[in-house]
Amino acid sequence: MREVVVTGVGAVTPLGVGARTLHERWSAGSCAIENAEGACTDFDPAEHMSKKEARRADRFTQLGLTAADEALRDAGWLGGDELPYDPARVGCIIGTGIGGLQTIQDALAKLDSRGPTAVPALCVPTMMGNAGAAAVSLKHGLLGPTFGVVSACAAGAHAIGTAMRTIQTGDADAVVAGGAEAGLTPLARAAFSVLEATSTTGISRPFDVRRDGFILGEGSGVLILEDAESAERRGARILARLRGYAATSDAHHLTAPPADGRGAAAAMRGALADAGLDAADVDYINAHGTSTPLNDRAETAAITAVLGARAGQVPVSSTKSAIGHLLGAAGAVEAAATVLALRDRVIPPTLGWAEREEGMDLDYVPDSARPLDTDRSKPAVALSNSFGFGGHNAVLCIEAAAA
């Protein structure tokens, strides 16, 4: 089967515009959570797209377009007049948890106040969950398979995993893949709050005993995935290899994981098996680590089960400690962060972690970043975990590019 490489990354997160901005600021210990939210306050759509593009897009799509532009530039795709591939061989798969939520809210307000004819003409094409993928395809003339992926907080990872398969099976030679979410709306805040999923203290501290829920965030992450042979033929700079992917389901409860995290563990084992690797090869885990009591306990149980004797030795950190939970964008943003962590050989920390919970004994990389201290004779390997309401588990296995 064909191998898949990562040749570009892009992200818009509460830490700023840019995947490298995310990686560097998170590694430096910056936390972008303010007023109990992770908002992309540095992101002004007018700086990244025409007025018309912005009008035609919900904020989640604006975020996705901007991350895709960065990733495509990073991969060296936007320098010339033409794409480096036959456009018919390039796809676009962008996940989201909800889609154009603000668009839906605004349209509903107009429907209620002024009646059906006041509902905006752009309501449907901007609220739909595939709008992000559609906008990227339209802007860059991508003619291969394009669609959205919807799996709550696992959507970004499912999108990247599905893109990997799309290349492996030969349906495309390259895929622009990621996730985008703009859920900082009154409805989303209220809806997560009544579920008691979000933090009441306003602090994201994954795996710490004091954690009390996640911090709602917004943003986007995009990876450029290419068939390895095609990428090497065009002389692309290889950032990382996407070695494995697995997706499983809990079939346990609509929103809660089983306490032993068995579905998550199965996905981690599956991703390693898909990569032809085993637990002994794992050098770092970018955890789902939401800062909810249930997720972090179950994920710890899953990681402990998968790593066996090496649990406690492998660093595990959560991007959500720095930016909050980006829902359907989280898996893609975290995959981009993992790619750059492996590339720079830096393990970013779990910010705010200070107090251990009994039975949760992993190395959560407290306080500050540290060097990735592994045997340099082989490329470093990381897992990026993503789990979603509905009991969806998606895990990516990413390997550093050969030095």
Partner 1 sequence: MTDSNVTVDIEELVIETLKELAGEPDAVTADATLEQIDVDSLDLAELSQVVEEKLGVTLKGSDVAEVTTVADAIALIQGRMGQ
Closest distance of CB 168 from partner 1, Å: 36
Closest distance of CB 306 from partner 1, Å: 49
Catalytic residue among 48, 325, 392, 397: 325
Tokens linked to 8: 């570009």
DSSP 173-236: SEEEEEEEEE--SHHHHHHHHHTT-B-SS----TTSTT--SBPBBEEEEEEEEEEHHHHHHTTP
**Residue 216 in contact with residue 184, Cβ under 8 Å?**
yes
Stretch that binds partner 1, among 47-55, 274-282, 287-295, 370-378 (CB under 8 A): 47-55
Closest distance of CB 57 from partner 1, Å: 12
Contact with partner 1 (CB under 8 A) among 125, 202, 366, 390: 125
3-state secondary structure of 40: coil
* Inter-axis angle of helices 59-74 and 131-140, nearest 10: 40
Closest distance of CB 120 from partner 1, Å: 7
Closest distance of CB 118 from partner 1, Å: 8
Which phi-psi region, left, alpha or beta, contains residue 113 (left: φ > 0; alpha: ψ -120 to 50)? alpha
Closest distance of CB 112 from partner 1, Å: 16
Q: Is 252 a catalytic residue?
A: no
Looking at the Cβ atoms of 36 and 104, the one nearer to partner 1 is 104
Tokens linked to 193: 């709050």
Q: Is 325 a catalytic residue?
A: yes
Looking at the Cβ atoms of 55 and 210, the one nearer to partner 1 is 55
Q: Give dist(CA 243, CA 225) in Å, integer.
A: 12
# residues contacting partner 1 (CB under 8 A): 11
| Footprint (CB under 8 A) of partner 1, residues 50-69 | 50-52, 55-56
Residues 6+ apart with CB under 8 A from 212: 199, 200, 201, 203, 291, 293
* Inter-axis angle of helices 101-114 and 186-194, nearest 10: 110
Q: Give dist(CA 306, CA 328) in Å, integer.
A: 25
The DSSP H or E segment spanning 23 is helix 19-27
Tokens linked to 3: 């191998």
Helices of type H across 238-385:
262-275, 293-307, 320-323, 330-344
Catalytic residue among 23, 48, 158, 288: 288
Pairing between β-strand 316-317 and β-strand 284-286 as defined by DSSP bridges: parallel
| Footprint (CB under 8 A) of partner 1, residues 83-122 | 117-118, 120-122
Hey, how many other C-beta atoms are within 10 angstroms of the C-beta on 403?
A: 7
**Binding status of residue 138 toward partner 1 by CB under 8 A:** no
Looking at the Cβ atoms of 52 and 81, the one nearer to partner 1 is 52
The DSSP secondary-structure symbol of 171 reads S
Closest distance of CB 109 from partner 1, Å: 16
Catalytic residue among 31, 153, 158, 392: 153
Q: Is 48 a catalytic residue?
A: no
Active centre residues (catalytic) = 153, 288, 325
Q: Which residues are near partner 1 by CB under 8 A? A: 50-52, 55-56, 117-118, 120-122, 125
